[in-house]
Amino acid sequence: MVKMTDLPTKGGFSFDLCTRNQMLLDKGVQMPPFRKTGTTIVGLVFQDGVVLGADTRATEGPIVADKNCEKIHFMAPNIYCCGAGTAADTEAVTDMVSSQLQLHRYATGRESRVVTALTLLKSHLFSYQGHVSAALVLGGVDVTGPHLQTVYPHGSTDTLPFATMGSGSLAAMSVFESKYREGLTREEGIELVAEAICAGIFNDLGSGSNVDVCVITKGQTEYLRNYQLPNPRTYISSKGYSFVKGQTVFLEQLLLLVSKLVHVEAIFQLRVDEWQYRINWGLVPCLC
Amino acid sequence: MYKLIIKINVVGKLGRVWIAYMPTQLVWDKRFFVVFGQNASRCSKQVASPKSHGGEKLIRCLVIGSACSHSHPLPYLEKKKVYFLARSISLLSSLSFPLALSSPTNHLYSLAAMSIFEYNGSALVAMVGKNCFAIASDRRLGVQLQTVATDFQRVFKIHDRLYIGLSGLATDAQTMYQKLVFRHKLYQLREERDMKPQTFASLVSALLYEKRFGPFFCQPVIAGLGDNDEPFICTMDCLGAKELAKDFVVSGTASESLYGACESMYKPDMEPEELFETISQALLSSVDRDCLSGWGGYVLLVYAALLTPTEVQEKILKGRMD
């Protein structure tokens, strides 16, 4: 029975393999651990705009899968979103809403508003009842001013002056609760965010590596990737491992030449000359 | 003593089909297990014609996936029953992997302890060097603890400058590869050029995320040469969460050992020969510490530099065969 399942689908989820996977689950097979962003993500509102911060560790079970991943996703030139939870879900949801916002900008001809992004995110997450496991901190500056919102996997949202999410949220919130005040300057805001993320990095096992910061103000956005690197690799020796050529024993070898460079100009010129010579001497039958 | 047999369509040509029966006393339970591959109809004729073997008609059976892996003769059953079973083999041989698993239900006790990624076993690693990249895999295909093939291909070519390795459940890896080749061919027809590695990585990620709530149990490792001969490597989890690394990516049951080996052995900007040595040593030392992967290695090295043709080297490594 040939089904048209292999043609590119129109979009959305496909549930083809669910029956098979359910059968495997009933047999007692463990589902594999998905890559999560253990994470500490924070945001705060300062006097001119919004500062977002995130750590850079991605975990797969207890193993660190990526030591320097990007958790601050682009939504619009004036809106950025930090994501925690299942990595595939946060990336897919933020990419999808980012595309929808771009289309909306083309349709309206105006700068995107943070509430637009918020509504698109929460309606998508609510319709999947929390199974799309993405916890987001959305921040941006639009015509109505700076906004900072959190979105939970089930679709609820909060509007806050400072927010933390992820496994390291408690560590980061402790820093915010003691040091946050209204009307911070840009430098103070960045420093406070970096301190909160560092608290998450050093105290939470699911967060680690470096600090990413994103500062959004009216008309300008600055994405400071790897703003702080508090965990450098200092233990490696400068010499490293060096393997002698021929150390690895191999049984068979196949060498393929994929592309060949052939200089054709000279040959072509020769052919042209040869033809010219032949034409001149009447060796080529012509219609003239 | 029950014997467990699982269909191994993933291996490809088994060569011959054997019908397996239980020992005599259990025949009356009408339980039988079949191993099937290709050429089922040829076997039915073979089985139907009587063999003279010590006066008694014997049918040999190959038992796969159980504690004992030897073939032994069993008493002959009636011709009609044999023929019926041979017919059913050719029908059943088109069924997919889950059905074979579901027939002898009470024998899967050991599957419960394992994750689905540990069913077949795999090890994949890709590394970046100076204008070159290398992608390496092990060659074992197993069914839990039994090795079924020692030349299994895990690294596939998409086009001359783009390769993908797929670890995890072998059947899902092969299905995923077929889908990707299909999509790439459509892309080539529409765009009249090959896909860039970054685009391909997004395609793989989208295909995997589409199955978010019923995923393919495979983890791809993508390696290719992008614009200006820049090497590109990327891995994903089974849902399509991309990890773009600049140094190395690993995947498979041996991934934990591979992380450790690559972290210590990797150096930036290695020349192709050194890169080959490094990736081979990292792979071989990691699979030595993993029961489910190994049996040699396969390394593919692609090197491109200005004014020289793109070179592709495939090497099969000699490793421990246990």
Chain A residues in contact with B108 by the CB 8 A cut-off are 27-28
- Residue B50's φ and ψ, nearest 5 degrees, are -70, 140
Cβ pairs bridging A and B (under 8 Å)? 174
Confidence band for A277, pLDDT divided at 50, 70 and 90:
low
Query: What would the mean pLDDT of A82-107 be, rounded to a whole number?
Result: 95
Does the CB of B240 have a partner CB in chain A at under 8 Å?
yes
Whether residues B309 and A15 touch (CB distance < 8 A) is answered with: no
Chain B residues in contact with A240 by the CB 8 A cut-off are 265, 267
Q: What value of ipTM does the predicted structure carry?
A: 0.77
* B285 to chain A: closest CA residue: A248
Chain B residues in contact with A20 by the CB 8 A cut-off are 96, 98, 214
Nearest CB to A259 within list B245, B309, B316: B309
DSSP label at residue B24: H
Rounded to the nearest integer, the mean pLDDT of chain A is 86
Q: Which of B277, B283, B295 to mutate to test the interface with A (most CBs of A within 10 A)?
A: B277
Does the CB of B191 have a partner CB in chain A at under 8 Å?
no
At residue A262, does pLDDT exceed 90? Answer: no
Chain B residues in contact with A252 by the CB 8 A cut-off are 314-316
Q: Which of B150, B205, B210, B248 to mutate to test the interface with A (most CBs of A within 10 A)?
A: B210
pLDDT tens for B41-99 read 444 444 444 443 333 333 343 333 333 333 344 444 444 554 554 455 445 444 434 43
Name the percent of chain B lying above pLDDT 90.
50
Whether residues B277 and A247 touch (CB distance < 8 A) is answered with: yes
Nearest CB to A248 within list B117, B281, B309: B281
Confidence band for B304, pLDDT divided at 50, 70 and 90:
confident
At residue A286, does pLDDT exceed 70? Answer: no
The CA-based angle A120-A121-A125, given to 5 degrees, is 120
Does the CB of B169 have a partner CB in chain A at under 8 Å?
no
Q: Which residue, B168, B177, B152, is CA-closest to B237?
A: B168
In whole angstroms, what is the distance from residue A241 CA to residue B127 CA? Answer: 15
Name the percent of chain B lying above pLDDT 70.
64
Confidence band for A189, pLDDT divided at 50, 70 and 90:
very high
Nearest CB to B111 within list A15, A28, A243: A28
In whole angstroms, what is the distance from residue A269 CA to residue B177 CA? Answer: 46
Does the CB of B276 have a partner CB in chain A at under 8 Å?
yes
Quote the pLDDT of residue B31.
36
In whole angstroms, what is the distance from residue A121 CA to residue A112 CA? Answer: 14
Higher pLDDT, B180 or A13: B180
pLDDT tens for B114-133 read 788 888 999 999 999 999 99
Helix pair A87-108, A114-127: axis angle to 10 deg: 130
Does the CB of B98 have a partner CB in chain A at under 8 Å?
yes
In whole angstroms, what is the distance from residue B285 CA to residue B120 CA? Answer: 20
Chain B residues in contact with A65 by the CB 8 A cut-off are 237, 243
Residues of A tagged active-site? 39
Nearest CB to B313 within list A65, A255, A261: A255
Quote the pLDDT of residue B188.
96
Q: What is the full DSSP assignment across B239-273? A: T--EEEESSEEEEETTHHHHHHHHHHH--SS--HH
Quote the pLDDT of residue A288.
47
Q: Which of A6, A258, A259, A263 to mutate to test the interface with B (most CBs of B within 10 A)?
A: A258
- Residue B129's φ and ψ, nearest 5 degrees, are -125, -155
Average the pLDDT over each of A153-157, B179-183, B193-197, B227-231 and give the range with the smallest value.
Answer: B227-231
Nearest CB to B216 within list A17, A243, A250: A17
How many angstroms away from the CA of B100 is the closest CA of chain A?
A: 12
In whole angstroms, what is the distance from residue B248 CA to residue B244 CA? Answer: 9
Average the pLDDT over each of A56-65, A162-171, B30-39, B198-207 and give the range with the smallest value.
Answer: B30-39
